[in-house]
Amino acid sequence: MSEKANLEKQSTTKGFAILSAAGFMVKLLSLLYVPFLNNILGKQGYGVYSSAYSIFVYMYILTNAGIPVAISKMVSELIAIENYKDAVKTFKIARFLLLILGMIMSILMIIFAAPLANKTASSSARLAIMSLAPTILISSVLSAYRGYFQGRGNMTPTAVSQVLEQIANTIFSLAFAAYFIRYGIAAGAAGGTIGTSVGALVAVLYMIYFYEKNKVFRVPKGYNKLAIKRLTTKKLIKKLLSYSVPMTVCLGIQQSGLIIDLWLVKSRMIAVGIDKIQVDVLWGVLNKYTSLISVPIAIISSLAITILPSISSLMVLRDKKAVRDKVNYAFRLCFLVAVPSAVGLAVLAKPIIGLLKYDSDVSRLLIYGSVIIILMAVVAIQTSILQGLGKLYLVTIYAVVGLIGKTVTNYIFVAIPSINILGAVMANGVSFAILLILNYSAMNKVLRVKINLFSHAIKPIIAAGFMAIVAKLMYVNFNFVLSFVREGYFANAIAILIAMVFAILTYFFTLVMIGGITKEDLGVLPHKITKLIPKYILNKIR
């Protein structure tokens, strides 16, 4: 073969473990650098930065969301039937298409920077939008490589590239923001976005290097004797577009919620008499809340990325039983991560906000809005499963329905002065609740078996209940004791750390006692951690 790969396919559990660890590190780095960026830019400057970044995220989704997922799906399907040459050919075609699309979208972003900034009620965001434009081009090529390796079932290169990207992003964003803020808020916000392009460049260089070193497929014995039906370039492009277009439209519609928030939320707050500076500040508050809940969501997204190619390949092989087993496994892991994350953030909201030096308003959003983590997590898994099952257009239609629910809720509640920005959080909850119900119904019909979500959720909910009590008690007591040593930030930080350790242990041991965790689930944890678990505990796990 002209082009092959020496990487063995990873199991879903191992792939999820690798991606989730990387995703957690990336989001943690992102979370930790926000206070520094906020201090450099100020509340209004951070609001301007957030407005520009919301525009960028939407353009990124339109460019990079559909084709990489389609690459992953197609490559996994072709490998399942041992058509390795067309798997590589699909990647090369998609990489070229993404390069062209990325160039077009980057140019459009520069040309329309001013109108886009004005539409967000933040004209100062123009420079920041323009400086983010090159990232679209670079990340287009990057996403092609990531989609290819994900389709091959190897999540390691994606994970490593994500960590490298965020490290570079953090360093250069802070450095350029600090340098350019002397020229004003608009320049400072633009400087804070430069690191995004640098990070993407570092990541794509790593992915190219990794690809060049690992071109060769390890094929089964007798492969060359098999009569593999090759697909023409035209057929591959047609199939690629048939997957990527509905996926792009679906994700584009879902992410339209960001633009709706950006335009509708701001305009509704201005309509009830909130001045533009305060609106920018409140928008920054919403983005800080979003950055917090994105940490556990990153882990769930890793599971969604891992599960899609797995289900796609099983569907090609027509192994319905394996598909149902994979679906149940995905939901079990989903609730094991999402439920304690939501409960933990709600219980320790105020201390965490104090630790990160965020505005106190963020804790209000976090207390009421942490439940959305569970809704978002379930919908992410459902969407990935339905895409793997081939229900691409159905997912798109449901996304439209969810968007309508979000828009109506935003319009009504954001304009109530006592609610204001909390209305945007409520709108997200309504949108994801609608999607969850519709997706659930569709999955049961397609799989011809009822997937009982509650049965997967009940044990994590029970364990998280005990965890919440322990976390709260540990924090209150240790914060009180430590305040005699050094009151304030130090006492709060140490008390949170202790509370989190006890919370994790309580959650884990409660799950073990009530049979809420299996030996297969432990495969997600690094081997060094599982070795620390006492044998009598391991013996209780089935």
pLDDT means over runs of 10, the chain (542 residues): 42 71 81 84 85 85 81 86 86 92 94 84 83 94 91 87 93 93 90 92 95 70 59 88 82 72 81 82 84 85 76 75 83 92 95 86 90 93 85 87 91 87 91 94 84 91 97 95 87 94 94 86 68 75 74
153 dihedral zone (left: phi>0; alpha: psi -120 to 50; beta): left
DSSP string, 59-85: HHHHHHSHHHHHHHHHHHHHHHTT-HH
- pLDDT score of 188: 92
Q: Given the structure tokens 């049961």, which residue do they identify?
A: 444
Buried b (16+ CB within 10 A) or exposed e, 471-501: beebbeebbeebeeeeeeeebbebbbebbbe
What gap in Å lies between CA 95 and CA 515, rounded to an integer? 46
Here the tokens at position 454 are 């509650």
Percentage helix, strand, coil for the chain under 3-state DSSP, each rounded to 5: 85, 0, 15
Cβ atoms 76, 313 nearer than 8 A: yes
Write the CA distances from 388 to 24, 264, 514, 520, integer angstroms.
25, 33, 32, 22
Separation in Å, CA 36 to CA 40, 56, 79, 350: 6, 21, 45, 19
> What is the spatial distance between Cα 449 and Cα 500, in angstroms, rounded to a whole number?
38
Residue 443: partners with Cβ closer than 8 Å, 6 or more residues away = 327, 382, 385, 386, 389, 451
d(CA 65, CA 254): 11
Tokens of 361: 């308003």
Domain extents in the chain: 12-215+238-451, 453-542
What pLDDT score does 5 carry?
A: 36
What are the structure tokens assigned to 339, written together? 């439920």
Beta-bridged to residue 5, according to DSSP, are 217
End-to-end CA distance of the chain: 44
Location of structure tokens 């400057």: 45
Distance CA 389, CA 246 (A): 14
The letter for the amino acid at 120 is: T
pLDDT of residue 463: 96
Reduced to 3 states (helix: H, G, I; strand: E, B; else coil), residue 275 is coil
Kindly list the distances between the CA atom of residue 415 and the CA atoms of 32, 169, 259, in Å, as whole numbers in the listed order: 32, 36, 17
pTM listed for this prediction: 0.78
Enter the DSSP assignment of 241.
H
What pLDDT, on the 0 to 100 scale, is given for residue 227? 59
Give the H or E element holding residue 372: helix 372-388
C-alpha dihedral (475, 500, 170, 43), degrees to nearest 10: -30
The answer to whether the beta carbons of residues 239 and 87 sit under 8 Å apart is no
- Under a CB-based contact definition with an 8 Å cutoff, are residues 52 and 117 in contact? yes
C-alpha separations of 310 from 58, 124, 387, 391 in Å: 27, 45, 11, 15
Q: What is the pLDDT of residue 105?
A: 93
From CA 214, how far away is CA 406, in angstroms rounded? 45
* Residue recorded with tokens 């209150």: 476
pLDDT at position 3 is 41
* pLDDT at residue 427, rounded to an integer: 92
CA atoms within 13 A on the CB side of 229: 3
